[in-house]
């Protein structure tokens, strides 16, 4: 089997682990994080945007990190299943 140039293209989706749905919407939280500074009245602050992905079916939520980790695992599995046994 020639993998490159093959028309047989596989597509793996990240699926919700509760309901196996593959559709997600993005939810953003915007916040400002304040920290005091020693020996000073100054405040340091960071503006933060937190992104969560929510299953459109069961409303289960996932972080970007969780999704990226799972996608990496899916890639590993796919590559392993393509690996031909050595002669």
In the complex, least distance from residue 56 CB atom to Zn ion, rounded to whole angstroms:
8
54 touches Zn ion (CB under 5 A) = no
The alpha carbon dihedral of 39, 41, 46, 50 has a sign of positive
Tell me the Cα Rg of the chain.
21
19 touches Zn ion (CB under 5 A) = yes
CB contact at 8 A, 18 and 57: no
16 touches Zn ion (CB under 5 A) = yes
Q: Which is nearer to Zn ion, 23 or 42 (CB)?
A: 23
Binds Zn ion by CB under 5 A, chosen from 14, 53, 54, 57: 57
Residues that bind Zn ion (CB under 5 A): 16, 18-19, 21, 55, 57-58, 60
């Amino acid at each position: 089997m020639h993998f490159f140039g093959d028309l047989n293209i596989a597509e793996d989706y990240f699926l919700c682990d509760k309901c196996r749905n593959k559709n997600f919407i993005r939810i953003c939280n915007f916040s400002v994080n304040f920290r005091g500074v020693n020996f000073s009245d100054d405040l340091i602050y960071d503006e933060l945007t937190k992104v969560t992905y929510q299953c459109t079916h069961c409303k289960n939520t996932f972080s970007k990190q969780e999704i990226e980790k799972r996608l990496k695992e899916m890639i590993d599995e796919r590559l392993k299943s393509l690996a031909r046994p050595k002669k």
